Amino acid sequence: MKSPHTPIGWLLLSLQVHVERARRAPERGASAIEFVIITAILVALAAAVGVVIYRLVTDEAESIDIPDAPGGGGL
């Protein structure tokens, strides 16, 4: 069983609920499946944007030159 306490777990449980609802109501199945597909695409897009932002910030943070602290007690 997936844990709803993590973002991925919540996403998987949410998608599972939508799929189960679509299977139970055949007259609403098409719209529910479309909703699930659109949601999955948006989540994937948001994840991709998040990865790009994370990489840009990480690259910039690594390029910052931090000199040794004065009086650092080195040998």
**Which pLDDT tens digit goes with each residue over 14-73?**
888 888 877 777 665 567 788 889 999 999 999 999 999 999 999 999 888 877 756 655
Whole-number Cα distances in Å, 64 to 58, 59, 60, 61, 67: 10, 9, 7, 6, 10
**Verdict on whether the full-model pTM lies above 0.75:** no
Confidence of residue 4 (pLDDT cuts 50, 70, 90): low
Beta strands in 5-75 (DSSP E): none
What is the band of 13 on the pLDDT scale with cuts at 50, 70, 90? confident
Banded model confidence at residue 74, pLDDT cuts 50, 70, 90: low
- 54, two tokens: 């994370």
